Amino acid sequence: MAPRDARARGGAHAMTRRDLDSNAGASPGTGAGADADAGEGARRVATVLFERYSDDFDLRHGGGIERALYQLSTALAARGVRVHWYRRQDCPDAQALARRAAALSADAVFPLPDSPLFWRQAPSTDAGLRARVVRIWHDVGALTHGRGVVLPCDRHRAGGDPAAPCSAAHAHPALYAADVCFRDEPWTRCFPRRQVIPWAVDHLPRLDHRDRDGPVLLLAGKARLEIVTAAVDACRARGVPVRVIFSGWTTLGRQAKAHFDDPVARAGCDVVRDYRLDEDHARVFGGISAAFVLSQYHETFNFLAAECVHFGLPVVGLRGAGATDGFASLLVDDAAALRAVIAQDRFRALAPKPMAPWGWDDVAAAYLDLIGRATREDGAPCDAGPRAHPVSTP
């Protein structure tokens, strides 16, 4: 697939409750109507149903999932897709979701990554619903009973034993229409209907925010506090200013925010507690020499790491953190190695990873391709097999 100019950026305003509570229209923030392709003969307009969180869809306080859903829905609507939304209380069980999908004649249903449909409820027995559910993998907690490294499956690893049990069997690898991951990893090979479709970051302007002599950007809230404080202490000893931002959805994030409430702990740090990236990117990334994106979670995509590369910043990460590895110019194993990188000023000489030419319009096109390949008119899953789109994250 050739990369396209992503014209449907759609990131200029936050989604509001009013935008998303009208579950019978095109994606919020766009003017795409249901008849966008009426002049293209008998081709039917696709209809998709997304789950969203129950609170306000606020791009200032929300995380990567909110941003991704907003951008994907906007790009799909710009292509004429009818986008509808539901909240967990609207469809509290699989039966209610199946009824909602049927009433809308939905071609695809996109539950949130942490939907009970995947992890806490018994799998739906409704074949029509299962044939339309697309599972988007955000982290691998369901496979590891935590968020650590996923070991290769004995059955699906290279040269594996066909008689061995699949380590992902409890996640029902072949149950749904498709499983979306953002890069091919050993654990993804357990899922026969997987497709690789990375997110994009071209909702942000392409600017070079780097200053090799500037402060470092430090993510707090996805790694143990002792690793975060080791980085801060090393920077203080070296006279390097630190700009701190937080991941707020984790217990580690709440601990980090409480730690930096202490004036002594935040001495020498510029603490950024609240920002909306499409408006405040200069406040977050401007003049930064390198970004320490410290995460101990195995995430399938990391928006902050991608945004740093987008803005010309080299990323230093902890080894084994999933997608961050692909964006990082340097990986370290522990706090001691991190302190050495800072003490030797090695981060200033790093070059950022090249950014793949992948935009939100490409993402929307890939999802439309997925919907077309993963379902048939009779509602049965199509065993199209795994597919990786050629343009992917580094």
State the DSSP string of 119-154: HTSPPP--HHHHTTBEEEPSB-HHHHTSSSPPPPPT
Phi/psi for 51 (5° steps) reads -85, 145
Helix runs in 223-293, H state only:
225-238, 251-260, 277-285
Mean pLDDT along residues 73-85: 95
User: Which residue would you say has higher pLDDT here, 246 or 15?
Assistant: 246
Assign 207 a pLDDT band (cuts: 50, 70, 90).
very high
CB proximity list for 38: less than 8 A, separation 6 or greater: none
Closest among 9, 25, 367, 373 to 198, alpha carbons compared: 367
Strand partners, 244: 218, 271
DSSP string, 96-110: HHHHHHHHHT-SEEE
| pTM reported for the whole predicted model | 0.81
CB proximity list for 152: less than 8 A, separation 6 or greater: 160, 186, 187
Q: Residue 41 pLDDT more than 50?
A: no
**pLDDT 10s digits, 158-198:** 899 999 999 889 889 999 999 999 888 888 999 999 999 98
How far CA 35 is from CA of 8, 47, 80, 252, 372, in Å, comes to: 18, 12, 7, 47, 19
Assign 34 a pLDDT band (cuts: 50, 70, 90).
very low
Closest among 235, 141, 143 to 189, alpha carbons compared: 143
Tell the burial category of 131 from Cβ atoms under 10 Å away from its Cβ (0-12, 13-18, 19+): buried
Rounded CA gap, 155 and 104, in Å? 39
Do residues 113 and 139 lie in contact, with contact meaning Cβ atoms separated by under 8 Å? yes
Strand partners, 108: 48
Q: What is the mean pLDDT of the chain?
A: 82
**pLDDT 10s digits, 263-283:** 999 998 999 988 888 889 999
Residues 155-164: contacts with CB under 8 Å, at least 24 apart: 155/190, 156/186, 156/189, 156/190, 157/186, 157/189
**pLDDT 10s digits, 311-355:** 999 999 999 887 888 899 999 999 999 999 999 999 999 999 988
Rounded CA gap, 239 and 224, in Å? 23
Radius of gyration of the chain (CA): 21
Rounded CA gap, 104 and 90, in Å? 14
Q: Residue 112 pLDDT more than 60?
A: yes
User: Which residue would you say has higher pLDDT here, 217 or 296?
Assistant: 217
Structural domains of the chain, with CATH = 17-200+359-388 (3.40.50), 216-349 (3.40.50.2000)
Q: What token pair was written down for 318?
A: 């902890």
Mean pLDDT along residues 197-221: 95
